[in-house]
Amino acid sequence: MSTPGQQPPDPIPGARLLFSLDPAVAHLNHGSYGAVPIGVQRAQQRLRDETESNPMRFFVRGLTDRISHSRRHLATFLGADPAGTALIGNATAGAAIVLQSVRLNSGDEVIVTDHGYGAVLFAAERECRRTGAVVRTLSVPQTATDPEIVEIVRAGLRPGRTKLLIVDQITSPTARLFPAAAIVPVAREAGVPVLVDAAHAPGMLPDPVAAIGADFWMGNLHKWGYAPRGTAVLSVAPRWRGRIEPLVVSWEQQSGFPSNVEYQATLDYTPWLAAPVGVFTLRTLGVDTVRAHNAALAAYGQRVVGAALGLGPEALPDPGGPTVSMRLVPLPPGVATSVDEAVALRNRISDQLRTEVAVSAWGGRGFLRLSGQVYNRPDEYDRLAERLPALLAELA
């Protein structure tokens, strides 16, 4: 199906063998739950075995030091200050921590965009119900340029009332790199703190924390950083660190941030302790090589699937950056225009085509989101392109 100028990247030798994914399934949705390399799985299993061989020793002999060591390793990889970075279970937990720590009051507002992740919006709505604040959503057209996005945000801020701005670094439903680095200083001029939801940035973008300079930054490492699931970080600017409160109070409460957020008694800490092995795996393959490969492969998938649906290059959304490893393909009008319909279509593609993809309903339109990862092959996108039109015709 390839045409000149649309050739996929060369595979990275041996990379596919690093994963234990079912070879009978095309896994084209790395962006949702990631895939843990076999070496990382084994490192985590050794840690589980260590825990069960002597739980008392594991939890009371140097555990906090081991967590700190892992945190320093991961924070350095992300370009973050280890002293201002806490390991957390996932980015959504980070949102809840920040929302309760900014101490909203009646009459305050939290601003989000319509490209945000649903669970983060739910967290903001819950905290606002509890405190009497309100959530206000800024509408950003999918085709908006970076300067236009910045101006939409600038116009939406209300100094004195807006107590928190939540923006994505890479959006989940629309797979778009947002100009977060340009938005942060605009908000700072208005006296508004910024929480950057960077769930997809670790491993995909270089130095994603240092490049932004936000008040709060949260990102998952299980997606593009090859870490076990349950590994994420919350990075906090110095002026806010003394105000951060954990969701659960435990024995490290008096130590302050980040230890009071990280330590939660008998939590399973093995994902965090094994996470540096994931970063090591990424570095062994070559970080820049992996980023370029994944972005090029996702672009290839977008082109061939889009062409199969009758979409030319001009109709395919631009991700906004050269290393973004997820791409959107607009679905025919009337297909997957609600969350329930999107879930149903995703499951049908999984069951009938043996292909895992993400399907989202955004702005009254259904979209297919394709990811590119080192274990993917071009023929997996080709097969989806060949078979998807017939499945969509059945729906029509």
Query: Which pLDDT tens digit goes with each residue over 321-339?
Result: 999 999 999 999 999 999 9
Q: Is the pLDDT of residue 244 over 70?
A: yes
Q: Which pLDDT score, from 0 to 100, does residue 5 have?
A: 37
Do residues 30 and 49 both lie within one domain? no
Do residues 265 and 296 both lie within one domain? no
In a domain? residue 4: no
Domain boundary among 281, 296, 317: 281
Please tell me the total count of domains within the chain: 2
Do residues 162 and 76 both lie within one domain? yes
381: its two tokens: 């996108």
Tell me the CATH number at 261: 3.40.640.10
Report the DSSP beta bridge partners of residue 369.
328, 358
Do residues 268 and 328 both lie within one domain? no
Tell me if 268 sits within 8 A of 63, measured CB to CB.
Answer: no
* Residue among 134, 156, 152, 132 nearest 142 (CA): 152
CA 32/CA 331 separation, integer angstroms: 19
Mean pLDDT of 67-79: 97
Domain boundary among 281, 310, 336: 281
3-state secondary structure string across 158-196:
CCCCEEEEEEECECCCCCCECCHHHHHHHHHHCCCCEEE
Q: How many residues does the chain have?
A: 396
In a domain? residue 47: yes
In a domain? residue 9: no
Amino acid, res. 8? P
In a domain? residue 6: no
CA 30/CA 218 separation, integer angstroms: 19
Do residues 266 and 156 both lie within one domain? yes
Do residues 323 and 239 both lie within one domain? no
Q: Which pLDDT score, from 0 to 100, does residue 98 have?
A: 98
CA angle 115, 117, 120 (to 5 degrees): 125
* Residue among 231, 234, 193 nearest 95 (CA): 234
pLDDT in tens, 24-70: 999 999 999 999 999 999 999 999 999 999 999 999 999 999 999 99
* Residue among 2, 5, 1, 8 nearest 294 (CA): 8
262: its two tokens: 């990280």
Do residues 96 and 20 both lie within one domain? no
Domain boundary among 281, 309, 324: 281
| Residue 260: domain span | 40-281
Q: Is the pLDDT of residue 396 over 90?
A: no
Q: Which pLDDT score, from 0 to 100, does residue 161 have?
A: 97
3-state secondary structure string across the chain:
CCCCCCCCCCCCCCHHHHCCCCCCCEECCHHHHCCCCHHHHHHHHHHHHHHHHCHHHHHHCCHHHHHHHHHHHHHHHHCCCHHHEEEECCHHHHHHHHHHHCCCCCCCEEEEECCCCHHHHHHHHHHHHHHCCEEEEECCCCCCCHHHHHHHHHHHCCCCCEEEEEEECECCCCCCECCHHHHHHHHHHCCCCEEEECCCCECCECCCCCCCCCCEEEEECCCCCCCCCCCEEEEECHHHHHHCCCCCCCCCHHHCCCHHHHCCCCCCCHHHHHHHHHHHHHHHHCHHHHHHHHHHHHHHHHHHHHHHCCCCHHHCCCCCCCCCCEEEEECCCCCCCCHHHHHHHHHHHHHHHCEECEEEEECCEEEEEEECCCCCCHHHHHHHHHHHHHHHHHHC
State percent of the chain over pLDDT 70. Answer: 98
Mean pLDDT of 252-271: 95
Tell me the CATH number at 365: 3.90.1150.10
Q: Is the pLDDT of residue 306 over 50?
A: yes
Do residues 271 and 382 both lie within one domain? no
Q: Is the pLDDT of residue 4 over 90?
A: no
In a domain? residue 10: no
Q: What count of other Cβ atoms lies within 10 Å of the Cβ of residue 49?
A: 10
Do residues 117 and 247 both lie within one domain? yes
Q: Tell me the pTM.
A: 0.95
Do residues 161 and 236 both lie within one domain? yes
In a domain? residue 2: no
Query: With bands split at pLDDT 50, 70 and 90, how would you rate the model's confidence at 1?
Result: very low
47: its two tokens: 């840690």
In a domain? residue 5: no
161: its two tokens: 């009332």
In a domain? residue 106: yes
Do residues 237 and 157 both lie within one domain? yes
Do residues 266 and 295 both lie within one domain? no
Q: Which pLDDT score, from 0 to 100, does residue 28 have?
A: 98
